[in-house]
Amino acid sequence: MFIERFYPTKYYASSYEIDYESLYADGIRGLIYDLDNTLVPHDAPADERALGLLNSLKEMGFEIFFLSNNKEARVKMFNEKIGAKYIFKASKPSAKGYLKAAKMMGLKPKQVAVIGDQLFTDIWGANKAGMCSCLVVPIDRSTDKPQIVLKRYLENPILKKYLKTHEMAKKIQNNEK
């Protein structure tokens, strides 16, 4: 079905609530992150929470990678204290950037999970590249730029249909445990 190409493999309340041990046990060795509203609010630098998470994931054995449609200055600034590989102006949802990221990490697409907050870029691109796609609830929608507000409006019917068929995702959306 056409709409299912936008469905995430997994859905989480936050990047900080993902069961990374489970992903590792499933053979995931690389994590590709979107930045804005996935790890920090839009245009914010890497904060202590993000640094702590990413450092602990490196210690677990994960390769960390940033894939962003943003300009290099934004990605470079975020990455200063992390030192991960990255691709800026990635043309998401094109699978090309995702596949290049996997290659740069020395991994096969099936060994990579993509974490992001947008269906039409992060999730669709990951799905096209054959990667595990992890949708997270945006950190702060009030910081969304106008084009992202429009995308979220268009994504809403797809997310609602997804939530109807995925009980756990529905609980996450409603902040239930």
CA angle 71, 90, 117 (to 5 degrees): 90
User: Residue 177 above 60 pLDDT?
Assistant: no
Q: Which pLDDT tens digit goes with each residue over 97-156?
A: 999 999 999 999 999 999 999 999 999 999 999 999 999 999 877 776 777 877 888 888
Average pLDDT, the chain: 90
What Å distances lie between residue 29 and 13, 26, 147, 166, CA to CA?
Answer: 22, 9, 32, 26
Q: Which domains does the chain have, with CATH numbers?
A: 2-173 (3.40.50.1000)
Q: Which pLDDT tens digit goes with each residue over 69-94?
A: 999 999 999 999 999 999 999 999 99
Strand, helix or coil at 38? coil
Rounded to an integer, the average pLDDT of 34-45 is 92
Give the rounded percent of residues in the chain with a pLDDT score beyond 70.
92
CA distance 107 to 102: 5
CA angle 17, 20, 26 (to 5 degrees): 140
Of the candidates 137, 114, 101, the residue with the CA atom closest to the CA atom of residue 34: 114
Within 10 Å of residue 75's Cβ, how many Cβ atoms?
Answer: 20
Strands 85-87 vs 63-67: parallel, antiparallel or unpaired: parallel
User: Residue 61 above 50 pLDDT?
Assistant: yes
Q: Find the helix or strand (DSSP H, E) in which 134 lies.
A: strand 132-136
The percent of the chain in helix, strand and coil, each rounded to the nearest 5, is 50, 15, 35
Q: What is the pTM of this model?
A: 0.88
Of the candidates 50, 89, 44, 45, the residue with the CA atom closest to the CA atom of residue 67: 89
What pLDDT is stored for residue 79 in this prediction? 96
Residues in the chain: 177
Task: Provide the β-strand partners of residue 22.
Answer: none
The gap from C-alpha 43 to its chain's centroid, in whole angstroms, comes to: 16
